[in-house]
Structure 1
């Protein structure tokens, strides 16, 4: 799902480029807001299944408490050092809480795929061990914006 961007169409990633990029990247930044309106941004590992961003978050974190109060979130994945190397994806919407809290490993068909992806990506395992401290958040974005400044040096 890609929301049309008014500016930067030349540097916008295609859906295939976005999916490949999100599958390769390891860390995202998650922005939440407190009941008083104070923003909070924290780094987190994630997986992308082609439709949703899955976040495996500590349930005793500021992020978790803020999302319980207000499930609106923005997630940014980006990289690059020099201006012409900058690229990234911003996804925003509302998270949903999936599975038991905290996650103990009870059967949950909805979590089978993201847990396999996460275990392989970060732990090199076939299945995810559960520490009873984390639980799953799913963001199926309402808006997706992307940029790849490397496209500026290529043909128009």
Structure 2
């Protein structure tokens, strides 16, 4: 994972700030590309495990179809209303498909902790509800860019 950023070093999040931010936010925007090169952006809940971002996507979606054809993504997680409160992270790279698709709850050690944390964070449950319509992709980011405009007041 690369966390180098030339411009905006003053507003870049530290590794601890980045982990805290990605762990506490819930919604990201996922950008994929169609076969014709057209961008497609959709919102999803996600889980950050400290080194990878996990997405639980509907397998009969435009997003899933595009990821099967081209696994490259750009994902943004951001928050803030006023200019001096804007914070966010852009992660990019290629996703990997993990577990069966669609997910039915078949044993998969790689997903045990992910599904428990995702279920607690997003559903308030101790176990993941499997509906046979979703499956997992993991992004181990090749590039991360972050910003925290609240740091501008520290100048």
Tell me if TM exceeds 0.5: yes
User: What corresponds to 1:146 in structure 2?
Assistant: 146
User: What corresponds to 1:113 in structure 2?
Assistant: 113
Q: Kindly tell me the number of residue pairs found equivalent between the two proteins.
A: 155
* Equivalent-residue separation in structure 1 for 2:3 and 2:24 (angstroms): 22
* Equivalent-residue separation in structure 1 for 2:124 and 2:99 (angstroms): 23
The 8 Å contact of residues 2 and 141 in structure 2, kept in 1 or not, is answered as no
Aligned partner of residue 10 in structure 1, secondary structure: helix
User: What corresponds to 2:134 in structure 1?
Assistant: 134
Counterparts of 1:66-77 in structure 2 under 5 Å?
66-77=66-77
User: What corresponds to 1:46 in structure 2?
Assistant: 46
User: What corresponds to 2:123 in structure 1?
Assistant: 123
* Equivalent-residue separation in structure 1 for 2:97 and 2:81 (angstroms): 34
Deviation (angstroms), 1:148: 0.1
Q: Which runs of 4+ in 1 moved over 3 A?
A: none
Structure 2: runs of 5+ lacking an equivalent: none
Deviation (angstroms), 1:147: 0.2
Aligned partner of residue 3 in structure 2, secondary structure: coil
Q: Scaled by the length of structure 2, what TM-score is found?
A: 0.98
User: What corresponds to 1:26 in structure 2?
Assistant: 26
Deviation (angstroms), 1:22: 0.6
* Equivalent-residue separation in structure 2 for 1:16 and 1:117 (angstroms): 19
* Equivalent-residue separation in structure 1 for 2:48 and 2:133 (angstroms): 22
Q: CA RMSD in A?
A: 0.7
Deviation (angstroms), 1:3: 2.4
Structure 1: runs of 5+ lacking an equivalent: none
* Equivalent-residue separation in structure 2 for 1:74 and 1:116 (angstroms): 25
Q: Scaled by the length of structure 1, what TM-score is found?
A: 0.98
Correspondence 1:11 to 2:6: no
